[in-house]
Amino acid sequence: MNDDALPPARAIEFWFDFGSNYSYLSMMRIEALATARNVRIVWRPFLLGPVFRQLGFENSPFVLQKEKGAYVWKDMERQCRKYGVALTRPSTFPRAALLALRVALYGANEPWIGAYCRKIMQLNFADDREIGLPEVVSEALGSLDLPAQHIIETAQSDANKLHLREQTEAAIRRGIFGAPTFFVGDEMFWGNDRLDDALDYCEAMSRRDR
């Protein structure tokens, strides 16, 4: 069965921003977990900054609230140990990733999307690289033997730029207030710790619809 033949209940929407630390944890896990359950991922890169501004925040709450920020990085250390994922606290947080997100949007339906997204996340949260720079995005694409120059040029087209703005506006309309966020149909799940719940719900919906 190809992806397009899967019923709606067998798909999970994954809304993420490369600057989001908890999106990093989900990104490194979601493809293997979804494949094991025969669930299709709908990749939804979006800009978290405009969402925060819509909510009245000029930056991540993890930055604006000192105590919450201290807790979050301690929690990240624990979670990364739990999942066996490398972590280097980024020297810039949240890190701008506009070009990287445009490339992800352009490639959202391509077979390389999962590997590319994991590579960008690793560059940010394991290697502390500036993932918004063209040379770093090009390096990520090149490491996957992809035509970096062509992909970047296409991702920078006016149509794709507009698409990312529209996708971010769609996130706001759907009530997204953070990342990662998952949707199974109209059911929303927020946070890395709800990824398994979202996949469970996806399976339950599939059984109900048989």
Contact 77, 25 (CB under 8 A): no
Per-residue burial over 191-206, b if 16 or more Cβ lie within 10 Å, else e, is bbebbeebbebbeebb
Residue 1 has pLDDT above 70, yes or no: no
Query: Which regions of 38-166 does DSSP assign to beta strands (E)?
Result: 40-45
Give the pLDDT confidence score for residue 3 in this predicted structure. 45
Give percent of the chain with pLDDT exceeding 70. Answer: 91
Whether residue 160 contacts residue 67, with contact meaning beta carbons closer than 8 Å, is answered with no
Q: What is the tens place of the pLDDT at every residue in 65-79?
A: 778 878 999 999 999
User: Are the C-beta atoms of residues 24 and 121 closer than 8 Å to each other?
Assistant: yes
Mean pLDDT of the chain: 92
Dist CA 76 CA 88 (whole Å): 10
| Homologous superfamily (CATH) for 10-208 | Glutaredoxin (3.40.30.10)
Token couple for 144: 């996957």
Q: Which residues are catalytic?
A: 20
For the chain, the structural domain boundaries read: 10-208
**Residue of higher predicted confidence among 67 and 22:** 22
pTM of the model: 0.91
